[in-house]
């Protein structure tokens, strides 16, 4: 190709200049709501985001990063640019069966992935300890970590669970989760293992990173700071502004409730949607990017995401239910493979409903313990019991009043979030079909979660 260049073509190339606000990329995204949109990101968006992340999280040329995320997402691309700018080493891995080998090979200092992977990883750690007859020892180690942390603030997890760390390469500074909100209890479980699981937040339209928890070894190993801030996504990045605005259509007002919709301003904010001026105007209100995320900001400027504004359920009484709050609690049940809290209209009243894809193995185990036969009614009863148990501490109006069972997994985005915009209008629950889909999911699950670790691997990311 170089041999075909002419003096004229070389001159034309030399005259070309890339300006900061020139279009660099169009990333098509639908998020969890459906409706594909082309997000136009400029060179300024990318370069400013790279510098902000580097200053905030302090990546450098000594870092070795392993990234387990779909490469068509904006975050893997920005991680690539960050590693390139810092001079560090970056390994992409898209086959979960090879992750364990990749960790041993690269000995990463930073590991990135999505919350669903972390949840599976921790469950697999516990299952393996049980299968090897070491569950009692494992739980004793966790109790010892808890006692030491509570009395002294010192985290002994890295010493007690050093085998876990070795399986992760033995050099991790921290792991970073993004793409969706992580259950705070999952984060605390990793803390108990001596693994700093930090959380970031953002969206493609913001280049994509908006905020991230800062890494401070002293606070992690010698205080309860991270335990107390589990669930926060940290402060906004340097050079990025975040504030709250009212959502009057949902009757949410910052001055009354202390929360509102999070809006973002900074050089990382996108240029607009490709060939969609109306959608662009709606997203960029007064120079601020409307994220659609509800949240609050504490005195330390930490951001706490509480849900999505468009999915807030407003009951006939005027009381509000945030689905994310309930789903976070329900994630603690091993009976729920997938669960999505939705608004349901019944008898001319708005009610809180839950669409549940049950875990076959757990349902079989519980029914066997009770001496009951498998049936739809028996499964529904199990599901109802767990929904009630995990919402017991919530106000009565927040509790699920209608349960919908489905025999197939709920649709997911590339980042493993439930794709609400793709939820079917109706559901069926056939025991045979449920068994078939569960066996297929178990096969994929086993392949995916056995691979990351022997004792086990976190993964992280950003959304």
Within-domain flag for 461: no
State the chain's mean pLDDT as an integer.
88
Cα separation, 99 vs 67, in Å, equals 10
Asked if residues 237 and 212 have their Cβ atoms less than 8 Å apart, the reply is: yes
Residue recorded with tokens 């049940």: 333
Cα separation, 432 vs 407, in Å, equals 9
* Residue 30, pLDDT score: 64
Domain count, the chain: 1
Domain ranges, residue 27:
20-235
Cα separation, 450 vs 456, in Å, equals 8
Within-domain flag for 314: no
Number of neighbours of residue 314 by Cβ within 10 angstroms: 15
Within-domain flag for 170: yes
* Residue 9, pLDDT score: 85
Q: Give the tokens for residue 424.
A: 């079917």
Phi first, then psi: give them for residue 273, nearest 5 degrees. -90, 140
* Residue 140, pLDDT score: 96
Within-domain flag for 206: yes
Handedness of CA 11, 13, 18, 22 (dihedral sign): positive
The CATH code of the domain that includes 163 is 3.40.50.12780
Per-residue pLDDT tens digits for 270-307: 999 999 999 999 999 889 999 999 999 999 999 999 88
Cα separation, 266 vs 209, in Å, equals 11
* Residue 217, pLDDT score: 96
Per-residue pLDDT tens digits for 157-197: 999 999 989 988 999 999 999 877 888 999 999 999 999 99
Within-domain flag for 299: no
Within-domain flag for 370: no
* Residue 209, pLDDT score: 96
* Residues of the chain with confidence (pLDDT) below 70: 1-2, 30-35, 414-415, 442-463
Q: Give the tokens for residue 390.
A: 């995990």
Q: Which of 245, 344, 255 is nearest to 289 (CA)?
A: 245
Within-domain flag for 429: no
**319-314-386 Cα angle (round to 5):** 80
Within-domain flag for 143: yes
Cα separation, 187 vs 181, in Å, equals 11
Q: Which of 26, 53, 48, 78 is nearest to 265 (CA)?
A: 48
* Residue 450, pLDDT score: 39
Cα separation, 35 vs 421, in Å, equals 8
């Amino acid at each position: 190709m170089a041999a075909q260049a002419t003096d004229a073509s070389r001159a034309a190339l030399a005259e070309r200049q890339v300006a900061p606000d020139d279009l660099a990329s169009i990333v098509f995204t639908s998020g969890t709501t459906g409706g594909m949109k082309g997000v136009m990101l400029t060179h300024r968006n990318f370069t400013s985001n790279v510098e902000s992340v580097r200053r905030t999280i302090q990546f450098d040329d000594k870092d070795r990063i392993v990234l387990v995320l779909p490469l068509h997402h904006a975050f893997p691309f920005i991680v690539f640019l960050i590693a390139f700018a810092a001079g560090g080493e970056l390994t992409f891995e898209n086959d979960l069966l090879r992750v364990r080998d990749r960790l041993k090979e690269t000995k990463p200092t930073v590991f990135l992935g999505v919350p669903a992977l972390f949840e599976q990883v921790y469950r697999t750690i516990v299952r393996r300890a049980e299968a090897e007859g070491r569950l009692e020892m494992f739980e004793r180690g966790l109790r010892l970590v808890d006692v030491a942390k509570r009395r002294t603030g010192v985290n002994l997890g890295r010493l007690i669970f050093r085998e876990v760390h070795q399986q992760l390469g033995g050099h991790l500074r921290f792991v970073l989760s993004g793409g969706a909100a992580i259950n705070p209890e999952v984060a605390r479980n990793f803390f108990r293992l001596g693994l700093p699981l930090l959380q970031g937040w953002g969206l493609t339209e913001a280049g994509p990173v908006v905020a991230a928890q800062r890494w401070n070894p002293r606070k992690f190993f010698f205080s309860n700071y991270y335990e107390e801030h589990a669930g926060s996504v940290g402060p906004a990045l340097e050079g990025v502004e975040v504030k709250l605005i009212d959502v009057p259509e949902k009757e949410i007002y910052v001055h009354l409730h202390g929360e509102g919709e999070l809006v973002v301003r900074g050089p990382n904010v996108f240029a607009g949607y490709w060939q969609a001026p109306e959608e662009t105007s709606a997203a960029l209100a007064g120079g601020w990017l409307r994220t659609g995320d509800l949240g609050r900001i504490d005195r330390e400027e930490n951001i706490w995401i509480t849900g999505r504004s468009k999915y807030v359920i407003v009951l006939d009484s005027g009381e509000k239910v945030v689905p994310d709050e309930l789903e976070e609690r329900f994630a603690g049940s091993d009976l729920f493979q997938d669960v999505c809290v939705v608004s349901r209209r019944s008898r001319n009243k708005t009610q809180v409903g839950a669409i549940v894809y049950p875990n076959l193995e757990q349902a079989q185990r519980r029914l066997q313990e009770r001496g009951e036969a498998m049936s739809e009614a028996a499964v529904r009863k199990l599901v109802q019991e767990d929904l009630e148990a995990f919402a017991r501490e919530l106000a009565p109006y927040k509790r699920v009043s209608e349960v919908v069972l489905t025999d197939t997994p709920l649709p997911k985005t590339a980042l493993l979030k439930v794709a609400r915009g793709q939820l079917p209008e109706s559901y069926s629950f056939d025991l045979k079909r449920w068994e078939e889909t569960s066996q297929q999911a178990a096969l994929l699950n086993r392949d995916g979660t056995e691979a990351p670790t022997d004792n086990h691997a976190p993964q992280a990311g950003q959304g």
